[in-house]
Structure formats: C-alpha cells, structure tokens
Structure 1
Amino acid sequence: MLSSNAWKSGTTVLVALGLVTGTVAPIVMMSTPAYSQSSFPDVPPNYWATPFISELAARGVIAGFEDGTFRPEQPVTRAQFAAMINKAFNKPRVREPITFVDVSANNWAANPIQRAYTMGFMAGYPGNVFRPSENIPRSQVLVSLTSGLNYAPTGSIDTTLGVFADGNTVLQYARNGVAAATQRRMVVNFPDIRLLRPNQIATRADVAAFLFQSLVSTGQVAAIQSPFIVGGDVSAGIKIPAGTSIPVRFEGADKVLLAKNEPPTPFRMKIAQNVVTSQGQVLIPAGSDVVGQLITTPNGAQFTAGEIVLPDGKRLPINAASNLITKTETITKSPSTGKIVAGTVVGAGAAAGIAAVTGDRNIKFYEVLPGAFVGAGLSFLFRDRVDLFAINPNTDLLLTLNSDLVIP
C-alpha cells in the first residue's frame, strides 16, 4: 500500500500497489529543416519529447533551424512532413509518380513529396492537389505512417480507439490508420496519455515522437521508455496507479504569477514527503525533484510533470498534472505594486506585462522564470491593468498521475 499522513489535502491516502512486469529496451535513432545537431536550447532535458527529438536528430531524420533552435511546438506542414518521411524511410516505389498541380518543379519539397507519394506514405486531394503548405493534423500523420508501412488494424477498431477519451472524434477516413498505429504503439500523447487530439495540428515534437515510434515498430531502432507512449511497455517494478495524488512543494516564493499567454515555462518542485509502501519501503524520497513545466491557456494555468529526479540522480519518467488553476490577480499602476510582487515568482510574460502596465522595469521579483516571451510587452501596451493567473504552488499544485508510475 502507498500511505501518506500529511498530504496537502489533509487526508490519508491508501493506494494498493501491484507488481507489473515489462521490458524496456535501450534508446536509439534518427532529422528536418536544415541544421544538424542533436541537442537544442529550446528542448530542455525535462521536455517530454526530448528523447525522441535527440535520437532522431542524432541520426539526421530531423534537424534544427539556422539559429540553433528546434521549435518543438511549431506546426508541421505537409511538405515538411514529406521531407521527414524521406529522411526516416527508404522504401521501394509502390506506385508511379504523379504531377501535383500545386507543387511546381522548383518547389524545395518537390522531390520529397514525390518520394513520399511513390513510397505509399502520402497522397493528394481530389484534382491532384497536394496542399504542401497546409499544416498536418496528428491523425493524418499517423494515417500516413501506417499507410506507408502497410499496417492494418486487427480486431475491433471501436475497442482499440476506446482507449482514448476522445476516440470518437477520429474522422472516418482516419479510423483504420489510427487504430493500426495504436496497436503498433506508435501513438504518443502529451500531457494526457488518454487524449489523442486527432484533429489538432501536429507539432514538430508530435511528429518526432510518431516517427520514432514508427521506426521502433519496424525494428530499425530500439524502444525508449516514456510514460506518454500509448500501450508502451514499462520496467518490472512496483506500480503506483493512475489517479493517485502526489503531494509536492515549492522551495521559494509563496506565489507564482503567469500571463494568460505565457509560453510553456520550465518549473521544478519537490516531493513533499516520502512515498512509501505499507511495509515502510521508501519508493520516492521526500525532497526528490519533480521536473516539468507550467502551461497556460486562456482558461487557466497548470503544472505538468515529466520526470522525477531522485536524490541519487536516478530519473523516473512521470505523467502527472495539477488541476487547472483559474484564480487571477489584477496588477495596476500603483505605488504599492512593487511591494505586492516583491516576493513573487513570475513568468517572463507576467514580468513583461507588469513592467509595461506600471512603466517600471526596475521592480524586483523573487525570481523571473526562464522562458522567451515573444513580443514581450507589446501585447500590454496602452493598458492600465493586467490580469495574471495567480498560483500558490504549495496548495494549488497537488499532482495527479495521468498514467501508472512504475518504480523499478
């Protein structure tokens, strides 16, 4: 049993722990705009897709941009995806080339598009239209990969798609392909493994993860361990089941302020107390680091955790998140503003907003969290107030596991 007598909720939690077995193979792998490197300043070690991106980049399947960044949250066009397909796979032609009316011979992606088509990975739209500049949805990426690899689903498609909370939103054309990809463990969902988001535009991080898992499925690379792989194997060990709450604390200020358009911001917390079995075996020591990021939407802010770093340096992948925090605090141009935020941790966007509204760029914060807030201050110009999400990290950010946490 997992026991706790000092959870932030003030209640005792008892969770049965079972033994699970599985196998975890080591990592291996392969990149796409232009500049070859295996690590990127905007892909930190704790980022959920870092293992997929790093391994693919090291093998030349994907690449960074001229400024050295990877831009993992940037959408992928159909032309860019075709280029990645060409880097990842070298398959014989299964159909003859055709002329796409919207892909000129001097288009940079003309050859990759033709090869992706002739290998069976990608197809056009009626009228021989390819739409090279169109952003590609997540489900279309999966359909493309399963088509090119000639994967078909087995058994009930409804049952397979039923593992996703939003499986009923998969469009009819994509159901077979997505089901096949799910059965082959090609689907990677972050931050919630249960949400496929099939019609959402795929990011560069999404595509890297899907490509890597496709290569795993063909035996070209060894599997990696990630809590976000749907149906992925896990190490033998003690399992803390999904839905369990994990108490965490923040060593620093008592308040965090984030702009409503704050970019994903790296954030680190601590395990608040020992996580132990009923026999007293310590599974996760108090003080272990919980590494993740603060994410905002127009509706609230949330902490998502991707990794636990134990005191001995051992790392455990974790898929957990706090509730959505909707509390806000209004900052105005006032003589007391400096005192209000003096002991506060703020995101880069919040700092820019406070400075723009107050006109005081010398306000002292406890800490400004790292993060590049593009156009800092511009969105706050000519405003006399700014509404920020206000988080008390020691009471608001109780983590709940989205998937099982396995302790080897």
Structure 2
Amino acid sequence: MKKFLLLFTSLLFSLIILSCEKEEQIIETISPINLVDVFMGEDSTYNGVCIPTNKTTQMLLGNKGYSKSDSLVSGFLVTHHSQNDESIHAQLSITTSVKPIKSFKDLQDDVMIVDPSTVIAEPGFFEVYLPENKTLAALTTGQNVAFQKYTFPDTNVANIIIDPNKVTDGKVVTSQLFTTSPRELQGYNIIQKGSKKEKIYFVIKITKDYGSFRIADHRSITNKLKVTGRHTKGILTFQTNRNEAVEVKVGFSRKGLEEAKYNLRAESHNSFSLAVNNAQNQWEATFDKFYLEGGSKVNQSKFYTGIYQSHHLSPIKNDNLFIENPLIGLISKNKSKTLKTGFVNFNSLDEVSYSNDSINNEIYSLQSIGLTPLEGEKYKITAPVFDRVSIDLFNGKNFVIEKKNRSKTPNEVSYNGNILEDNIISEEQILLGGILKVSL
C-alpha cells in the first residue's frame, strides 16, 4: 500500500510539474510580434507593410489611404522612400483582375473589391482576399524590393496591371513602359512635386511567363512592346490553374535602369515566403531589443505597437507621421526629430488627444517605461507601468529599469547606485548602460 501511495504521489507530483512547465511554456511563446496592432487611429488606418529600415512600403489605396473597414481599393501602392524629405518618393501602383480587357474602357474602373474579414495584417506581412476576382493578394517587402503574390483561380485572363501614373507624392508628367522578356517589365515615370521633377526608373520581375503583354495609352490598347505617354498602363495576362500563384517583384532607382536591375537582383532570388520570413525576422530582432516584465497584455501590446509605429513611415505624406520616438535612437542611432506629448490612457487600447494613434502609441512606449522627454535629450523619471524593462542599446550595452513598490510617483530614483537629482536622467547617461531603480 505504501508503495502504491508513493507511486501515486510521485505520478501526481510529476503531472503538476509537467502542467506548470506547460503553462510556463505557453507564456513564453507569446512573441512581441503577435502583440502589435498594425492598424492605427480611430478609423483603423493601415499605413502599409514594410521592414524596420523602412525604405520600401506597400499599402492599399482606399478613399483616404486604407482603413480596416474599406471594401474598395484602387490599387496596391508600391513606394520606395527618398533619403530625405526634400526628394520625391519612387512610386507606382499595381492592380489585378480576372476579367477580359478588350478596350481602354475596361481599365477605367480599376477598383478592386476586398473582403475586410479576410485581412491578415502583421509586421512584415499583409494578405487580403478579392472575392470578385477569386484571388488572394499578399504583400511583403525587402530592403529595396517590393514583393507581391497573387493566388489566382482557374482562368485564362488572370491580369496584373502596372500603373506608373498613380502616385500619392506629386503627379506624373509622363511615363514609359516596355518589356524585355516574358518575365520582365521595365520603365520610368517622371514625377513632379511643386517646381521639382524627378525621373524614377523601375524593373519588375514576374515568376511566370505572361501569355500576352499589352500597353494602354490614353484611350487605346496596343500590342507595342514599348510606349511612352501620360496614361500608360502595362497589362500582363496569364493562364492559371486553380490556386496557382504568380509572384511580382519591384525594384526602383533614381539613377538609371541598371541600378534598378542591380537593386532588384540583390533580393529577387528570394521567394515571397522567404521574403516574408526575412521581414518578420527583422521585426522580431527589433522587438527583442526590449524585454518587459510585469504589466498587462494591453500594456505590452501598446508598447510594442508604439515601437512598430515608430519605425513606420506612411507613403502618404503627413507631418504627424514624421514624429519619431527617442527610444529608437537608443537602439539604432537614429536621432529623433520632435515629440509631441499629450495625455495617454495607460489602461486602455483607446487613445485620446490626437486623431493619429501612432503618436500616442509612440509616447506610450516611452512613458510606460517611466521616461518623459525634456529639452536637451533629458528625461524626467516617472512611475513605470512595467516591473522591469531591459533595453539592448545600439552600442552593445544594456539599460535596465526596475520598479519597486506600487505608487503613482517615484519616491527615490538611483542609477548605478547613485541618486539622481530631481529624478532626471540624460541620454548620455543612459548610453553608458546600467540599472535605473525607481522606488515608489
């Protein structure tokens, strides 16, 4: 009997340990990338898919950008951001259809119907179903290349339409399209913004030979392989089997076609799925620079959403979106510009004060760890939301914030054992690395 009780006790103890280990494992598998909400603002605006370096962005063109509830879009806008705010962004738009295109009239209504309930939007990945076309569209980006994937139905009129005249940063004066092989399209557009004009070159690779290539120019469609004009659109038509995927890769250059080819060639060996993995790995590496302990799931979601949005730049220019988070300067040497502050609700996903939630989330990611920005790259220490925060700095050092007790205001603040006067710490001190202890 004793042996039986001993065996039963041993088994019960083992089950408890396994249960605890299993529960602990579930907690550990919650990745920061899964806590990010890529939609922002009261209207759930989506500013596109990109990687943290943010040179290339893709987004859906709705009535005003794209929001979570939009069911009509006029294209997938591909943008390669300029190195500075003065230059014009490289842009073109791509649409798809499975209807016969016999005349220019068939191209005039280029609106695509999307099903909002099918949207999968994550850092580095976007997917949506087009019910009218029975097509699944997916987007991701590399450093200088945009990747698209269209999964078509069984049809002989699977169309991919390239429009170099649809841009959001300025207007197109003229454009050129031509094909060099059944899997490649090249061209340029000249974009004018105010008094400035810039010629943008692009090269597009497709993973399947097109069945036919035509160019629409103004009011006609031609079989010519090269056309220059103000209303050019390239129509690539494929015959596809059910659930057959066609991938599209786009590279840009401001210097010439050869550089556009080089930029594309540097990443075009990647398949769409590999490009998604690369993009999401970069986001995970960015989020992994921050380790949070304590706080609710909502707190953590808002924090990582703020980090995501701090790295994000909309292809539709908006002054509010140029506000950068000083935290990003601590992990990647990118100096912040300005930071507007406002009231942030720390206990809810709802944000107030500004219509653009990205601003509030960026502020939240900073203030939730107990840092309020002051003039001269200094920070006032306030009560952190989290019990402990660890940040991997760009210089290889580590900055830790530890909270003791629970209160709304700090009682004593020390950094590496030294009391901080007026509870103020400079960025220079932070970059030395160490432990900031906040007693409440």
TM-score normalised by the chain length of structure 2: 0.24
Give 1 or 2: higher strand fraction.
Answer: 2
More relative contact order in 1 or in 2 (CA 8 Å, sep 6+)? 1
Point out the structure with max Rg over C-alpha.
2
